[in-house]
Structure 1
Amino acid sequence: MASSTTPSTSEDKSTPSLSPQGVPKDWKFWCIIFSLALSVLLTAVEFTGIGAALPTIIRDLKGQQFIWVGSAYALGSTALVPLCGGLTQIIGRRPIMLSALLLFALGSTISGAASSMNMLIGGRAVQGLGAGAITSSVQIMLSDLVTLRERGTFSGLMALSWAVGGGVGPVIGGSLAQNGKWRWLFYLNLPICAFNATLVMLFLRLKTPPATLKEKLEKMDIIGNVLVTGSTTSVVIGLTWGGITYPWSSAHVLSPLVIGLVGLCVFIIYEINLCKPPVVPIVLRLNWTAASGYLQNFVMAVVLATLSYWYAVFFEACKDKSPSGAGVDLFGLSYSISLIAVVAGVAVKKTGKYVIPTFVGWVLTVVGAGLLTTLRANSTLAKSVGFQLVIGGGVGIIYVVTLFPILASIPITQTAPAMALYVFSRNFGYIWGVTAGGAILQNELKRKLPASFLAQFPQGVEIAFATIPVIPNLGEPLKDQVRNTFGEALKVVWQVTLGIALAGFLCSLGMRQLQLHTTIDEDWGRKDLLAVRASVPPDPELLEQTISTKEA
Structure 2
Amino acid sequence: MSPPSPATSTAASDPEHLYHKSLDHDDNARGRPFWLAFVAVSMCTFVSALDFTAVPTALSTITADLRVTGDSIWIVVSYGIASAAILPLSGRFADAFGRKPVLLTAVVLYFVGSIVSGVASNVGTLIVGRTVQGMGGGAMLNLVQIIVADLVPLAERGTYVGMLACVWAVAAGVGALIAGSLARVAEWRLNFYLNLPLAAIAFFLVSFCVRLQRPAGSFGKKLSQLDILGNLIIISGTTLLVVGLTWGGMRYNWTDVHVLATLIPGIVLLGLFFMFECCLSIRPSIPLEAVDMRTTISGYIATFFHGVLTAALFYFLPIYLQTSKGLSALGSGLLLLPAALVVAMLAFVAGTLVKVLQVYRWANMVAGGFSLLGFGLLSTMTADASAAQWVGYQILAAAGLGLGFVATVFPVLAPVPVTHTASALSLFSFTRAFAQTLGVVTGTIILQSQLKSRLPSELNGFFTGHVELAHAAIPLIAGLADPLRRQVRVAFADSLKLVWDVMLGVSALGMLPGVLMREVRMERVTDDRYGLRTGSGSEVQAHAQSSEEKTPLRSAFGAQQTEHSSTSSSDGTPQPQSRPRWGGALWVQLASLLFFIGLFFESISM
CA contact (8 A) 1:240 1:435 kept: yes
Structure 2: distance between partners of 1:11 and 1:239: 53
Structure 1: distance between partners of 2:184 and 2:396: 30
Residues 243-267 of structure 1 deviation map (CA, whole Å, 9 limit, x = unaligned):
2101123232233122111111110
CA contact (8 A) 2:290 2:420 kept: no
Which residue of the partner structure matches residue 39 of structure 2?
A: 34
Please state whether the residue corresponding to 1:519 is helix, strand or coil.
coil
CA contact (8 A) 2:414 2:521 kept: yes
Residues 157-203 of structure 1 deviation map (CA, whole Å, 9 limit, x = unaligned):
11101100111111111110110110000001000111110001101
Which residue of the partner structure matches residue 419 of structure 1?
A: 425
Which residue of the partner structure matches residue 24 of structure 1?
A: 29
Report whether the alignment pairs 1:49 with 2:22: no
Shift, 1:548, TM fit: 7.7
Q: Percent identity?
A: 37
Residues 79-102 of structure 1 deviation map (CA, whole Å, 9 limit, x = unaligned):
111111000011111111111111
CA contact (8 A) 2:290 2:423 kept: no
Report the AA paired with residue 353 of structure 2. Answer: A
CA contact (8 A) 1:13 1:521 kept: no
Q: In structure 2, do the counterparts of structure 1 residues 310 and 251 end up closer, same or farther at CA, with 3 Å as the change threshold?
A: same
User: Which structure 2 residue ranges, 5 or more long, are not aligned?
Assistant: 1-11, 538-544, 552-566, 569-576, 578-606
Report whether the alignment pairs 1:122 with 2:128: yes
- Pick one of 450, 454, 457 that aligns with 1:448: 454
Report the AA paired with residue 451 of structure 2. Answer: L
Which residue of the partner structure matches residue 3 of structure 1?
A: none
Report whether the alignment pairs 1:409 with 2:415: yes
Runs of 4+ in structure 1 off by over 6 angstroms are 9-14
Q: In structure 2, do the counterparts of structure 1 residues 254 and 501 end up closer, same or farther at CA, with 3 Å as the change threshold?
A: farther
Q: In structure 2, do the counterparts of structure 1 residues 12 and 19 end up closer, same or farther at CA, with 3 Å as the change threshold?
A: closer
Which residue of the partner structure matches residue 18 of structure 2?
A: 15
Shift, 1:120, TM fit: 0.9
- Pick one of 453, 471, 483 that aligns with 1:465: 471
Which residue of the partner structure matches residue 513 of structure 1?
A: 519
CA contact (8 A) 2:303 2:408 kept: yes
Which residue of the partner structure matches residue 150 of structure 1?
A: 156
Please state whether the residue corresponding to 2:527 is helix, strand or coil.
coil
- Pick one of 215, 225, 249 that aligns with 2:255: 249
Report whether the alignment pairs 1:263 with 2:257: no
- Pick one of 51, 72, 94 that aligns with 1:66: 72
Q: TM-score, normalised on structure 2?
A: 0.84
Report the AA paired with residue 38 of structure 1. Answer: M
Q: In structure 2, do the counterparts of structure 1 residues 13 and 187 end up closer, same or farther at CA, with 3 Å as the change threshold?
A: farther
Please state whether the residue corresponding to 1:59 is helix, strand or coil.
helix
Q: In structure 2, do the counterparts of structure 1 residues 287 and 529 end up closer, same or farther at CA, with 3 Å as the change threshold?
A: farther
Residues 20-41 of structure 1 deviation map (CA, whole Å, 9 limit, x = unaligned):
7455312232121112112111
Please give the residue correspondences for 1:108-507 in structure 2 after superposition, counting only pairs within 5 Å: 108-283=114-289, 285-462=291-468, 465-507=471-513
Structure 2: distance between partners of 1:79 and 1:250: 26
Q: In structure 2, do the counterparts of structure 1 residues 285 and 327 end up closer, same or farther at CA, with 3 Å as the change threshold?
A: closer
Report the AA paired with residue 486 of structure 1. Answer: F
Structure 2: distance between partners of 1:445 and 1:461: 11
Please state whether the residue corresponding to 1:243 is helix, strand or coil.
helix
Structure 2: distance between partners of 1:13 and 1:90: 26
CA contact (8 A) 1:13 1:522 kept: no
Report the AA paired with residue 73 of structure 1. Answer: Y
Q: In structure 2, do the counterparts of structure 1 residues 204 and 454 end up closer, same or farther at CA, with 3 Å as the change threshold?
A: same
Report the AA paired with residue 15 of structure 1. Answer: L
Please state whether the residue corresponding to 1:520 is helix, strand or coil.
coil
Please state whether the residue corresponding to 1:181 is helix, strand or coil.
coil
Please state whether the residue corresponding to 1:242 is helix, strand or coil.
helix
CA contact (8 A) 1:87 1:96 kept: yes
Q: In structure 2, do the counterparts of structure 1 residues 10 and 418 end up closer, same or farther at CA, with 3 Å as the change threshold?
A: farther
Please state whether the residue corresponding to 2:23 is helix, strand or coil.
coil
Larger relative contact order (CA 8 Å, sep ≥ 6): 1
Shift, 1:335, TM fit: 1.0
Q: Report the RMSD for the aligned CA atoms in angstroms.
A: 2.3
User: Which structure 1 residue ranges, 5 or more long, are not aligned?
Assistant: 1-8, 532-542
Q: TM-score, normalised on structure 1?
A: 0.93
Please state whether the residue corresponding to 2:214 is helix, strand or coil.
coil
Report the number of matched residues. Answer: 533
Which residue of the partner structure matches residue 588 of structure 2?
A: none
CA contact (8 A) 1:446 1:461 kept: no
Structure 2: distance between partners of 1:403 and 1:294: 8
Structure 2: distance between partners of 1:427 and 1:171: 23
Q: In structure 2, do the counterparts of structure 1 residues 403 and 28 end up closer, same or farther at CA, with 3 Å as the change threshold?
A: same
Which residue of the partner structure matches residue 573 of structure 2?
A: none
